[in-house]
Chain A
Amino acid sequence: MNKLVIIGCDRSAGEALRSLQETGYCLPEGVIYQPLPCGGSLDVLHVLRALESGAERVLVLSCYADACRSFNGNTWAEKRTAAAQALLTEAGLGQERITYRQVSPNMSADLGAWIHTLINLEPVEAQDRA
């Protein structure tokens, strides 16, 4: 089972991840990175399919506002992530399974820290039961 699926704009998240990997970092087992050409191409279905395929959590990454090559890809990504979170809440599954962050290509250290935090969180079901 994948613990974490990262869906991110390849121009920001992808660059940050590649810089991190250049330092010798390897994605931990169970973590998958799925690049998108831009945050604007994120579909709610991407997030839901990632969860459906067994991911415990999904991390959606887009550029910062004003840094998107296509102007408002980050806004689309944020809106669609919120829509996916709303669907999870409606289904009683806990919206904390989905995290949205803005990232720039030079934030490789932050990206590594986010991944570390997310994969070390308690499973969501356990939280739900608590």
Chain B
Amino acid sequence: MNKTVAVLGGSADAGWVVEELLALSYSVAWVGQEDLPDSPRSDGLRAYPRSRVSAVSGCVGSFRLELSAPPERAVIDAAAIIVAMGNQRLPLGADARIPAHPRVLSTQVLAERLSAPRQISGIAPAQRQHILFALDMLELSGKQAVVETLELALRTHDTWHCEVSVLYRELQVDSDLLESLTRTMREQGIVFHRLQDALPVVDDSGVHVKHADGVLDGDLLVIAPVVRPRSDSAELAGLLRIALGADGYFQQLNVRSYRPGLSNRKGIYLAGRCHLDADDAGARADAAQAAANVAILLGQDHLQPETVIAEVGSTKCIRCLTCIRTCPHAAVELAAYGQVTAAKVVELACFGCGACAANCPVRAITMKGIDVPVWLQEAALV
């Protein structure tokens, strides 16, 4: 059985997935639209930088991906696919609601000023100055950007010895790193305020931001980056026939009771910040989970269908395509049965949910592997 895994995405998240897969001795085809981050040298790794997936066919165990990678096209045959394209960070100027003013800075600009030698930059604020750091000001900043912004706030306080305040909407202190970081910041006199729904007012006298207990006046406002799903997520989701959530991130199959990282299609998994909000540690852990999902799938020598699966009676099928539209797991396709064309369930891809059988207008689909009592035997499950 082909045990190549295609990893899609040029993000750091994808790099961690590749590392995990190589450590488990899988062959990896790594495809990214950008230059790919550094990765361990390995015979098992084929890298396709600056390449775009243009078509996907097949199913679990035998996916075929066509790449457009100018000047040539490439084809990858893979048993499984991991989507790890990450999210995207918007530059500060992207949101017109934030006033463009020398007192309003991105974290990146502040970090550059902080690192510049003082005699060159000449812009170190005096001790009396007050620098405000805003998280999630207009949109979610994302966990990693929150960690980086808080670290920057602490570094600013330590380096310039100025007054620092942090404004936030929802600050979930849900990791050891964030807990120790926020504790250290509080011990050093950095104050946290909850933001109100109001835009900052910036004028020559300073920056004025509404918070839950009043108005905070400062000299500089540093805005944490905003993260959004990548703009090419929808296109890739369409090619892979996997679901995007209403928020534009890839939608994980049943977040409550199944393994994390499963998409609605067998053999296609999600990893990192294309489907969840995580800091780097969380994204690394998710990469390990994605590799474990692949190992569960490909750990045996052959793939097994579910115990309950659907089957189309090709002579009854009227090719209305209802089942193809209804199947939540993209497991039905049209196929030739001798001279006849009819719907066909791809056994390995079927989750056995029965939605196709219940929707077929001519009851051409039966569920194999289910015991149906006599009193139900004229219903659709038979």
A interface with B by C-beta (< 8 Å): 11, 34, 36-38, 40-43, 45-46, 49-50, 52-53, 66-73, 76, 80, 104-105
Binds A, one of B120-128, B273-281, B347-355: B347-355
The distance in angstroms between the C-alpha atoms of A11 and B257, with both chains bound, is 9
Complexed CA–CA distance, A84 and B378 (Å): 16
Nearest Cβ on chain A to B373's Cβ, whole angstroms: 7
User: Could you tell me if B264 and A71 are in contact, using CB atoms closer than 8 angstroms?
Assistant: yes
Give B188 Cβ to nearest chain A Cβ, in Å.
41
Chain A residues with CB under 8 Å of B357's CB are: 41, 43
Q: Is the CB of A50 within 8 A of B376?
A: yes
Is the C-beta of B367 less than 8 angstroms from some C-beta in chain A? yes
Beta-carbon contact of A41 and B328 below 8 Å: no
Number of residue pairs A-B, CB distance < 8 angstroms: 83
Given A45-B380, A69-B351, A73-B355, 6 further pairs, Cβ under 8 A: A40-B328, A40-B358, A49-B378, A50-B375, A68-B254, A70-B353
Q: A46-B376, A73-B355 known; A41 and B367 CB under 8 Å?
A: yes
Among B355, B357, B380, find the residue whose CB has the most chain A CB atoms closer than 10 A.
B355
Docked pose: A34 CA to B370 CA in angstroms? 11
Residues of B within 8 A of A (CB): 243, 251, 253-258, 264, 308, 328-329, 351-355, 357-359, 367, 370, 373, 375-376, 378-381
Q: A67-B254, A69-B258 are in contact. Are A80 and B376 (CB under 8 A)?
A: no
Residues of B within 8 A of A66 (CB): 255-256
For the complex formed, measure the closest distance between the CB of A52 and the CB atoms of chain B, giving whole angstroms.
Answer: 8
Taking a contact as CB atoms under 8 Å apart, the answer to whether A53 and B354 are in contact is: no
* Residue in contact with A70 in the complex, picked from B329, B373, B381, CB distance below 8 Å: B329
CB distance from B107 to the nearest CB of A (A): 34
CA distance A36 to B264 in the complex (A): 19
Chosen A-B contacts, 7 in total, with CB atoms closer than 8 Å, are: A41-B357, A42-B358, A45-B380, A46-B380, A46-B381, A71-B328, A80-B358
A37 to B373, CA, bound (A): 15
Of A38, A50, A52, which one neighbours B355 at CB under 8 angstroms? A38
In the complex, residue of chain A having the shortest beta-carbon distance to the beta carbon of B264: A71
In the complex, chain B residues whose CB is within 8 Å of the CB of A43:
357-358, 379-381
Given contacts A72-B328, A73-B355, contact A34 B373 (CB under 8 A): yes
Per the bound structure, the CA–CA distance linking A52 and B378 in Å amounts to: 12
Taken together as a complex, chains A and B put the C-alpha atoms of A49 and B380 apart, in Å, by 11
Complex: how many Å from CA A42 to CA B257?
A: 21
Q: Are B328 and A37 in contact (CB under 8 A)?
A: no
Contact A67 B256 (CB under 8 A): yes
